[in-house]
Chains A and B, each alone.
Chain A
Amino acid sequence: MKEKLMFQNAPHVRQSESVVTMMTDVIVALLPIYLMAFFYHGARSLVLGLCGALCCSVLSVLGALLLREKPVPDLTPIITGLIIPLLLPADIPYYVVISACAVAIFVVKIPFGGTGSNLFNPAAVGFASVAICWPELVFRYPATMQAIEIFGESTAKIAQSPAYSLSLGAVPDYNVLDMLLGSAPGPMGATNILVVAACGIFLIVKKAINWITPVSFIVPYALLCLLFPRIGGSPFEALCYELFSGTVVFGAFFMLTEPVTSPKRDFGKLMAGISSAIVVFLFRYFGGFEMGFASALIVMNVFSPIYDAICESVLHVSRHKESFVASIKEETKLRKNKKEEEKPVIRVIEKAKEPEELPEIKTEEISEEEILPEKEPEEIDLSENSEEKEEEALQL
């Protein structure tokens, strides 16, 4: 009976969900987006995705070997590698994707201790770094419905993305339906709003991500866009253009919800969502780049530990509610006692003053020096009394 017995700590039953199932869910949710990119841009988008995923996993294994650790077979680098190409145009050269992956793994993940310890979203930092290095490549989008050569220089027709038109204050050339279906030019994964939203809802249903984060981001962002439209026309149209252009919806479902860099508690997630909506809006409204999301996300990642600390301090007070209330009551009681003890003393002073002042008016010749020594002993007595009473109260 006892040959196979193993040691394990309580509890002895565990949830069937694990890191692997969670990450598999995310990868499964990313695949339809790649299919849509294949539909609009041809096979190059799939090769870009493969390149990113391979590159990230190889680099993370290399990093683990450099740190002389056993490589952990988790799927997080694959997700990072799949997200980065989706933020870039479909005709991007491979070296841009590879360098973005290298930054994501070697700058953001490995130096801080690998999976679970990174301070910033790796995909966001990777994208932001290549956006700074090669802005002319990253923000130049090919028109949809044309196959791009898998290797070599792209000869595809270039089109103006709706996000760029919006940043210039112009109404985009595409209607709202085009943008929903993804036929407007833009980052190869972020334009198919309907598919992205469906995949996001799949993740929420599978409980791989929390619904609070995307909702608390998209709703305030939409409200801000309604209140401060960048273009003329009906506010609803402006709202649709703002929401469906750029990487807002994709980021809300796939980047903002990254577990490592987002706050732990629901209230923290709510605060983080609202504040990142404001920051993304400000970046897009006043920023130089048309894609404000990644940079805004990097800024907001810094605040996640602060939101956690706020939640913890609120909960700390709620846990010790009774003792806090008791201590406050005691303090107020002590103060009340003090006041009650002091009040009669003050009356005595007032009564004592009156007869002294009266003779002053009558007899003008009495010098101040004679009155002062009379007052001083009284004050000293009072202070002594009050101190004794304080001590008594404390002892009680």
Chain B
Amino acid sequence: MSFFVKGIFLEQKKEPMLTRSTLVMRQEFEYFDCNFPDVAIDELSREQIIELARLAEIVDESDGKMLWEKLEKSNLGEGGTFIVDAVDDEPYISSQMSIGIHQPEKLALGIELCERVLSPEKTYIAMYRHILDSNFGIPKKIGKYHVKKIGGRYPAESRVHRHIPKGKNSVIIGACAMLHLARAAEESRKMTSCFITVAGDVVKNPRNVEVPIGTTAEKILELCGLTEEPEAIILGGSMTGRAIFEPENEKVGPMTRGIIALARSYGTYSYTCIGCGRCDDACPKALSVCAMRKFADAGKLDMLMQYDVSMCIGCGACSYVCPSRIDISATLLKAKKQIELAKKEGTL
């Protein structure tokens, strides 16, 4: 019964990007001057590792924060859990997972360095398991680190927290940041590139690419090739990303996860809500989405507050299942923003 199980099953479509090796775009790497060049990697102290992360300007791609700030603030100690985020539960996107599969030694080195700073009790790598349309097997271990397979329906990233014991500290850091940290320690290399999945039904050569930060979407799509004119180009994941109109002006940043070119946009629909309640069943936060959408259309912000619109995580599961193709997720996120503004102004 879907009263207990929430979320949606998505076709993951991660092949062939996941099994193909990462394509590196030609670029010039930048290097930094280190104050302690003679110290071996095994002997780096906590402060030195944080200094490395600061010099290399590493950004954590899972939340956009600077890695050195994150490392400096948190000291996990006993009972603490350190989770490396390589979940990738959105369709097409596999940039984090591919690092664990194609560059496991570097990832393991990065995790080891972070472990030395954070000194957690438990460390594991989180990956999404339910890739039903592929025979790809997720490794059980990367280096000496255990891979925890997060199963179930989309969105799975919010379920990563479920494995943390209650009342204990935890830190979640993305896999790409780990890789960049390993590079900084080995080669004193700055983080000037990011990992992006280029996919979609009109991409000729879909694969994971490593491109310099600031490359335009047009260039990246040219690198992989297009078979026909796309109707939609998406910067980010296919569930939460943003449709772009000017690919020559849109640049990728450290938090960009993918560029997806689709032959057909889902189009506009003129059907009204028939009240089937599928959105209610799909919501991973068990919100009454159907009723909330009606309140949002009517502009009843106070009712939306009562129905906990602030808990919406914007995963897009409701819009995905809607048979009338209503933009429920966008409507609710807009209403959420309006409520936040009204609260700031004190009108609500």
Contact = CB atoms under 8 A, between A and B. Distances in A.
Contact of A6 (B243, B247, B260, B291): B243
Interface in A188-221: 212
B244 interface: yes
Contacts of A4: 229-231
Given A5-B245, A12-B241, A12-B262, A18 B229 contact: no
Contacts, number: 154
Interface stretch (A42-50, A260-268, A375-383): A260-268
Given A1-B229, A1-B230, A12-B262, A264 B274 contact: no
A212 B10 CA distance: 24
Question: Is chain A's binding surface mostly helix, strand, loop or mixed?
Answer: loop
Contacts of A311: 288
A145 interface: no
Contacts of B221: 1
A2 B232 contact: no
Interface stretch (A110-118, A133-141, A175-183, A222-230): A110-118
B277 interface: yes
Interface string A54-94: 00000000000000001010101000000000000000000
B322 to A, nearest CB: 8
Interface stretch (A165-173, A314-322, A339-347, A354-362): A314-322
A151 interface: no
Contacts of B329: 9-11
B223 interface: no
B288 A312 contact: yes
A2 B246 contact: yes
Interface residues of B, number: 62
Interface in B238-292: 238-248, 260, 262, 265-266, 269-277, 280-281, 285-288, 290-291
A19 interface: yes
A13 B311 contact: no
Interface string B1-18: 111000000100000000
22 contacts: A1-B247, A2-B233, A5-B232, A6-B265, A8-B243, A9-B243, A9-B330, A10-B319, A11-B316, A12-B266, A14-B320, A15-B320, A19-B271, A115-B272, A116-B275, A259-B277, A266-B1, A308-B288, A312-B288, A315-B287, A318-B286, A319-B285
Interface of B: 1-3, 10, 91, 218, 221, 226, 229-234, 238-248, 260, 262, 265-266, 269-277, 280-281, 285-288, 290-291, 306-308, 311, 314, 316, 319-325, 327, 329-330
